[in-house]
Amino acid sequence: MSGGMNYAYAYPFASQLETLGKGKHLSLATCGGVDKNPYFFQGRLVQARRSADLLLTVSEISRTRFYSPTAIREMILAADPVVTSGGDRLRFEAFSVCCGVYARVDLRPNAIDGDFVGRGTTNVDFNPPMRAALVNILSSEKVGLNVGADRVELERGSEKVVEKKVKLPIRWLKGFVEVQAHQSKLKPIFEISGEEARRFFGTLPKHLMTQKGTMSYVVPAGKGLRLSPREGPQSVLIGAPGRLKVLEQLVRYANKVRVYGGDDGVSGWEIFLDDASFHLVLSPDASRGFSGEGQVLSQLAHTRKDDDLAKVRATLQWQACVDAQSLATTLNVDESSVAEALATLGTRGLVGYDLAESAYFHRELPFNMDMVEELQPRLINARKLVEEGSVRITKKTSSQVEAYVKGTNVEHRVVVTESKSQCTCEWQAKHPDDRGACKHILAVEILADPENN
């Protein structure tokens, strides 16, 4: 499978920082959105230096490879962050080049002063001149911020347009639909003050590049945290600690830092500022990118066509926080049905997940989301097994399905329940709980799904 797909971005201008009178104006060129190159937001950064550091960190992560295998068959190119204008804030999201680190910055109402002219999600051009300009912003400067443009320039003869063609990483497309599934399972474990956070981050190793199998845990130490090579009764797995180093320049602004953990080894880090927040989500190991986790495969295998899903999708209007309980009351459906519908919409790239709010937010990724299933080899192979008649269901009740699935010179026994699924294949034995279902389990789920019959 190719590591990227050719995708043409048409920017109306190059992102730039212009000097206007005694101040400066930051214009972020966008591609796509609700309308053709609209202004999503027009205004200024209230705390220019601090906001610049937040944006630079997102950009740095999108251009950093934290893990490099011994033999790289194909270099995965960096990509520009994705920005969402919704509700009362601007959100910037990105993955690392290795796709094992997800970052998001939220510029909240008192971080930006201006007008939300439109709502939507798009890609933002962070070119080298833009990054250089952000580095040189002073705290005392007045920096305006535009996301989008009010006109498009085309280059035809005397006319001019800025157009940029990039190879968009397929892993980003898969990573976005996976990371929200992981985040929805995370729970807050630690919360430390800004002072303790600065002390902890000062002890982290300086190198960013890490090796496969480098495992570290974060454990409590008085009022703060420390690294440990061993898992404890109250610990959070962070894999390679070097990946946290990118947050060091941001914790100087932190009021507090919250750490999230989960059973699947993924960790989340949230830095609270006066007017903004920064989220970092780490895969369990530096060698594991979110794009290959497979947490959403079972949801993708089920073709949900029920009314509740359609009702929930119809209510999405770029909300910064989707209140599932309120939505359930409004739609007169169970809250569990709303939660399931939102999780399904997340697999289609239509919502993201906010750890701080423990809720989804609406955004529509600027990708061709019809490709999501086409980029999942296990799901493709599972559908092929069903089409070839290789699945034989021997027992089916409301709570359990038992079946046999043809493999290479063997039949694999599969048991699917609401809480856990099992298969006798080698792949499932190697990854029993942490990498999603194997193709045999997926094939049984597809055949047993009433929506597919």
DSSP state of 55: H
* Phi, psi of 217, deg, nearest 5: -125, 155
How confident is the model at residue 157, as a pLDDT? Answer: 38
| Nearest partner of 237 among 262, 202, 258, judged by Cα | 262
Which strands make up the sheet holding 120-124, listed edge to edge? 30-31, 120-124, 82-86, 89-95, 101-107, 276-282, 267-272, 256-261, 187-193
CB burial of residue 217 (10 Å; 0-12, 13-18, 19+): buried
Contact 363, 91 (CB under 8 A): yes
How confident is the model at residue 209, as a pLDDT? Answer: 56
CA distance readout (Å), 402 to 145, 359, 438: 58, 35, 15
How confident is the model at residue 130, as a pLDDT? Answer: 75
Pairing of strands 421-423, 224-228: unpaired
How confident is the model at residue 299, as a pLDDT? Answer: 63
How confident is the model at residue 145, as a pLDDT? Answer: 81
String of DSSP letters for 179-243? HHHHHTT-EEEEEEEHHHHHHHHTTS-S---B-TT--EEEEEETTEEEEESS--TT-EEEE-GGG
Six-digit token string for 262: 């989960």
Low-confidence ranges of the chain (pLDDT < 70): 1-14, 20-23, 29-39, 69-79, 148-169, 207-214, 291-306, 366-375, 433-434, 450-453
Q: Where are the domains of the chain?
A: 4-93+102-169, 376-452
How confident is the model at residue 267, as a pLDDT? Answer: 95
Six-digit token string for 345: 């919409």
How confident is the model at residue 102, as a pLDDT? Answer: 95
Dist. CA 198–CA 249, nearest whole Å: 9
pLDDT tens readout for residues 12-49: 666 777 776 666 777 776 665 555 555 677 788 889 89
How confident is the model at residue 242, as a pLDDT? Answer: 86
How confident is the model at residue 306, as a pLDDT? Answer: 67
Residue 272: count of CB within 10 angstroms of its CB: 17
- For the question of whether the overall pTM of this predicted structure is more than 0.85, the answer is no
Three-class SS state of 81: coil
Side chain identity at residue 251, one-letter code: V
Helix crossing, 439-448 with 377-387: angle to 10°?
A: 50
| Nearest partner of 425 among 446, 400, 404, 445, judged by Cα | 404
